[in-house]
Amino acid sequence: MKRLLGIILIVAIAAVPAVAAEKGKPKTVKEKLGYSVGYVTGMNMKQDGLDISAEQLSRGIRDGYLGKKGAMTEDEMKGALDEYQKVLVAKQAEAMKLTAEKNKKEGVAYLAENGKKEGVVTTASGLQYKVITPGAGKQPKESDSVKVHYRGTTLDGTEFDSSIRRGEPATFPVTGVIAGWKEVLQLMKEGAKWQVAIPAELAYGERGAAQVIGPNQVLLFDVELIQIVQ
């Protein structure tokens, strides 16, 4: 049978031995493997909100594992899987939308309050910074590369990146970073240490990044501009 779109679920559970014990605690390696894969798959289905017949699921696993003729044609199965894929994508999109709305609301509230704090400067773009150490060196230009130490977190304090934790400064061109970084770097001087709040529209916007930064999230950074790299 050809690989079907969205067949990952079936492939994962096809490894479940059909002769695994129905009751009691699994004892053999095969039984333990079968139960473990089935249990994890079941939890994932529940988390995905998949409305499915457990009886037909069990029947499909057994028929496939034993090499029996399917109760549905390949086209029928593909149609069912395609329909499930559409439902899953729609649910994910709705969840992303709700998260984006929540993050935007929280971000607007945070920036409004943070902007009132002593020493916090808000630029025309909405970027906010507070000077901890002013620095006395040169200011980078857009064409420069810089060496920096930084730590980035979301509003709840979750750290998503840190050169400080890695123990090694990062070096990159000023034009090679998000808009908020590009702006703030050209405002700093060598030796400066700033606390920076970057609005979502100057960071990763509605898309977020790499499942670490959510949609519409404001990002907070501790930034030290060590030097301009020639």
pLDDT at position 20, please? 41
Query: Domain with 224 in it: what CATH number?
Result: 3.10.50.40
Task: Say whether both 125 and 224 belong to one domain.
Answer: yes
> In total, how many domains does the chain have?
2
Tell me which residue range forms the domain holding 164: 120-229
CA nearest neighbour of 152 among 142, 163, 166, 162 = 162
Q: Which of 7-21, 84-98, 170-184 has the highest mean pLDDT?
A: 170-184
pLDDT at position 35, please? 85
**Does residue 2 form part of some domain?**
no
State mean pLDDT over 194-223.
95
CA dihedral sign, ordered 76, 84, 60, 8: positive
pLDDT at position 191, please? 98
Put residue 159 in one of left, alpha, beta given phi > 0 → left and psi -120 to 50 → alpha. beta
**Does residue 111 form part of some domain?**
no
**Rg (alpha carbons) of the chain, rounded to whole number:** 26
pTM of the model: 0.72
Task: Say whether both 41 and 125 belong to one domain.
Answer: no
Q: Among 57-66, 144-153, 210-219, which is the least confidently predicted range?
A: 57-66
CA dihedral sign, ordered 129, 134, 135, 139: positive
Residue 66, both tokens = 């034993």
**Does residue 192 form part of some domain?**
yes
Q: Among 37-51, 98-112, 114-128, which is the least confidently predicted range?
A: 37-51
Task: Say whether both 129 and 214 belong to one domain.
Answer: yes
Q: Among 51-55, 99-103, 123-127, which is the least confidently predicted range?
A: 51-55
**Does residue 114 form part of some domain?**
no
Task: Say whether both 50 and 125 belong to one domain.
Answer: no
Burial classification of residue 130, based on how many CB atoms lie within 10 Å of its CB (0-12 exposed, 13-18 middle, 19 or more buried)? middle
* Separation CA 98–CA 130 (nearest Å): 31
* Separation CA 108–CA 217 (nearest Å): 10
pLDDT at position 140, please? 97
Task: Say whether both 220 and 135 belong to one domain.
Answer: yes
Q: How confident is the model at residue 109 (pLDDT cuts 50, 70, 90)?
A: very high
* Separation CA 214–CA 48 (nearest Å): 19
**Final residue before a domain boundary, out of 31, 50, 71:** 71
* Separation CA 157–CA 129 (nearest Å): 17
> Per DSSP, which regions of the chain are E strands?
120-122, 128-133, 145-153, 159-162, 170-173, 193-198, 219-229
**Does residue 67 form part of some domain?**
yes
Task: Say whether both 128 and 216 belong to one domain.
Answer: yes
Under 8 Å CB-to-CB from 23, ≥6 apart: which residues?
A: none
**Does residue 16 form part of some domain?**
yes
pLDDT at position 23, please? 65
Q: How confident is the model at residue 6 (pLDDT cuts 50, 70, 90)?
A: very low
**Does residue 78 form part of some domain?**
no
Task: Say whether both 61 and 161 belong to one domain.
Answer: no
pLDDT at 33 over 50: yes
Residue 213, both tokens = 């930064």
Which tens digits make up the pLDDT trace of 168-180?
999 999 999 999 9
CA nearest neighbour of 74 among 14, 6, 2 = 2
Task: Say whether both 51 and 128 belong to one domain.
Answer: no
**Does residue 84 form part of some domain?**
no
Task: Say whether both 124 and 223 belong to one domain.
Answer: yes
